[in-house]
């Protein structure tokens, strides 16, 4: 069995964290005797520089031919003034749409060793473990009409029944594997599209009566994530609300540099760290590769059905943090500052150790 992995490092620190991710993919694949074929392509600003196009047909075709896609990050100040359709971000949106990646899974889990890196109090955070399940190919990101002229700017927030049904089903299925609680986020007190979203989610819920469902307005939800994050299990959101709430969720865990994501459709899957391209620290070896490596764990879990491998990667990350290794974004007193590459190396060393222990039967999760 050979898996075809398309690598899209993109811009800024995307390149460094993708290198770290690839090293981990190779290590894990080798240990399980799975073969991986890598195909690296340009996307975003780096693609624009070469082809005046942030997403070429070649890159898109490579993704269509892939089993999985790994993306670093796109964007940067250099391309901010380009017209909308040439911006690096447009490439990512086009790719999500083209591959039909309507389910976006963003876990917000607290690593105990990092509890002090958060701006929130330890008591508030302890035991936090929820998922932002974000609809990724609809809503205001893609609605028409859109545009602006000299005097007016406009976008359209629209959802079809089918779009809400499929993401709501995902949320309930995911909740069934967890603590069986879905919080559906909307702004139904103001927006018609949100009232529609709420109605459909409740219709779908009829088939999942064993899962608890509650609705929450998005403004209240933003507040509740900071006030009492433990209350959440699966947060079901539209595209825009999920974008905002997942950044808040990421920050309570200490750093956006820790937050992985999986974007999944009926045929394709793309894994990417939630953080952006961080041009200010690009190329300096300062980026935290843990979000990228944790996205690799999600890849093994969801795309390759190798749950054991995924757990071992996650355990390796936890161990590295317990050992006190930190990149600059999560550094605190008494810890050891490491570069992006060194952090990847630490995870790999721990992975090997866990794998070997498991092979001789002493590994327990």
The set of catalytic residues is 141, 187, 219, 243, 247
Residue bearing tokens 């109090």:
121
The residues pairing with 326 across neighbouring beta strands, listed in sequence order, are: 337
Among 16, 89, 186, 314, contact with ligand IPM (rule: CB under 6 A): 89
Q: Specify the 3-state DSSP secondary structure of 250.
A: helix
Say how far apart CA 336 and CA 357 lie, in whole Å.
25
Give whichever of 73 and 290 is closer to Mg ion, judged by the CB atom.
Answer: 73
Strands, E assignment, the chain: 2-10, 35-40, 68-73, 103-109, 129-135, 147-148, 153-154, 181-186, 212-217, 234-237, 262-264, 269-271, 325-326, 336-337
Question: Closest separation between CB of residue 291 and Mg ion, Å?
Answer: 12
* 8 Å CB contact between 161 and 202: no
Give whichever of 96 and 205 is closer to Mg ion, judged by the CB atom.
Answer: 96
Contact window for ligand IPM (CB under 6 A) among 29-37, 85-93, 114-122, 209-217: 85-93
Partner from ligand IPM, Mg ion, none binding residue 186, C-beta < 5-8 Å depending on class: none
**Residue 243 binds to ligand IPM (criterion: CB under 6 A):** yes
**Residue 92 binds to ligand IPM (criterion: CB under 6 A):** yes
Instruction: Convert residues 93-132 into a mask of x (bound to ligand IPM by CB under 6 A) and - (unbound).
Output: x---------------------------------------
User: How far from 294 is each of 196, 252, 262, 340, CA to CA, in Å?
Assistant: 35, 17, 10, 14
Partner from Mg ion, ligand IPM, none binding residue 92, C-beta < 5-8 Å depending on class: ligand IPM
* 8 Å CB contact between 299 and 271: yes
Give whichever of 11 and 243 is closer to Mg ion, judged by the CB atom.
Answer: 243
Per residue, what are the HEC states of 206-224? CCCCCCEEEEEEHHHHHHH
Q: Specify the 3-state DSSP secondary structure of 184.
A: strand
Give whichever of 234 and 306 is closer to ligand IPM, judged by the CB atom.
Answer: 234
Instruction: Convert residues 236-255 into a mask of x (bound to Mg ion by CB under 5 A) and - (unbound).
Output: -------x------------
* 8 Å CB contact between 65 and 4: yes
Q: Which of residues 188-247 bind Mg ion (CB under 5 A)?
A: 243
User: How far from 81 is each of 76, 85, 142, 193, 242, CA to CA, in Å?
Assistant: 10, 11, 20, 31, 25
Q: Which of residues 37-76 bind ligand IPM (CB under 6 A)?
A: 75
Question: Closest separation between CB of residue 199 and ligand IPM, Å?
Answer: 25
Question: Closest separation between CB of residue 124 and Mg ion, Å?
Answer: 23
Question: Closest separation between CB of residue 75 and ligand IPM, Å?
Answer: 6
Give whichever of 243 and 314 is closer to Mg ion, judged by the CB atom.
Answer: 243
322-339 burial string, b = 16+ CB within 10 Å, else e?
eeebbbbbbeeeebeebb
Interhelix angle 290-298/340-359, nearest 10 degrees: 40
Give whichever of 275 and 286 is closer to ligand IPM, judged by the CB atom.
Answer: 275
**Residue 186 binds to ligand IPM (criterion: CB under 6 A):** no
Say how far apart CA 249 and CA 270 lie, in whole Å.
20
Say how far apart CA 7 and CA 71 lie, in whole Å.
6
Question: Closest separation between CB of residue 291 and ligand IPM, Å?
Answer: 12
Question: Closest separation between CB of residue 84 and Mg ion, Å?
Answer: 17
Partner from Mg ion, ligand IPM, none binding residue 89, C-beta < 5-8 Å depending on class: ligand IPM
Q: Which stretches of the chain bind Mg ion, using CB under 5 A?
A: 243
Q: Which stretches of the chain bind ligand IPM, using CB under 6 A?
A: 75, 89, 92-93, 243
């Amino acid at each position: 069995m050979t898996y075809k992995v398309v690598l899209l490092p993109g811009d800024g620190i995307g390149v460094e964290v993708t290198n770290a991710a690839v090293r981990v993919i190779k290590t894990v694949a080798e240990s399980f005797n799975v073969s991986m074929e890598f195909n690296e392509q340009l996307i975003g600003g780096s693609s624009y520089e070469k082809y005046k196009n942030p997403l070429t047909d070649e890159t898109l075709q490579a993704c269509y031919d892939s089993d999985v896609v790994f993306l670093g990050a796109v964007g940067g100040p250099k391309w901010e003034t380009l017209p909308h359709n040439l911006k690096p971000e447009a490439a990512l949106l086009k790719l999500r749409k083209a591959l039909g990646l309507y389910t976006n899974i963003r876990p917000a889990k607290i690593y105990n060793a990092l509890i002090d890196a958060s701006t929130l109090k330890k008591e508030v955070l302890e035991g936090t473990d929820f998922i932002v399940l974000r609809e990724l190919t609809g809503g205001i990101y893609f609605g028409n009409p859109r545009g602006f002229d000299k005097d007016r700017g406009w976008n359209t927030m629209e959802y079809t029944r089918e779009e809400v049904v499929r993401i709501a089903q995902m949320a309930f299925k995911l909740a069934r594997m967890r603590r069986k609680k879905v919080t559906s986020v909307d702004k139904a007190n103001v927006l018609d599209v949100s009232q529609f979203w709420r109605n459909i989610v409740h219709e779908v819920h009829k088939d999942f009566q064993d899962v608890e469902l509650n609705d929450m307005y998005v403004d209240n939800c933003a507040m509740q994530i900071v006030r009492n994050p433990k209350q959440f299990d699966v947060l079901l959101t539209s595209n825009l609300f999920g974008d905002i709430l997942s950044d808040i969720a990421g920050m309570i865990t200490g750093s956006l540099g820790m937050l992985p994501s999986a974007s999944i459709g009926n045929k394709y899957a793309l894994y990417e760290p939630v953080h952006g391209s961080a041009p200010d620290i690009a190329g300096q070896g300062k980026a935290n590769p843990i979000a990228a490596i944790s996205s690799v764990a999600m890849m093994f879990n969801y795309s390759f059905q190798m749950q054991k491998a995924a757990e071992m990667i996650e355990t390796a990350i936890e161990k590295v943090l317990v050992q006190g290794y930190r990149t600059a974004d999560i550094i605190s007193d008494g810890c050891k500052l490491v570069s992006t590459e060194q952090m990847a190396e630490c995870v790999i060393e721990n992975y090997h150790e866990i794998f070997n222990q498991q092979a001789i039967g002493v590994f327990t999760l």
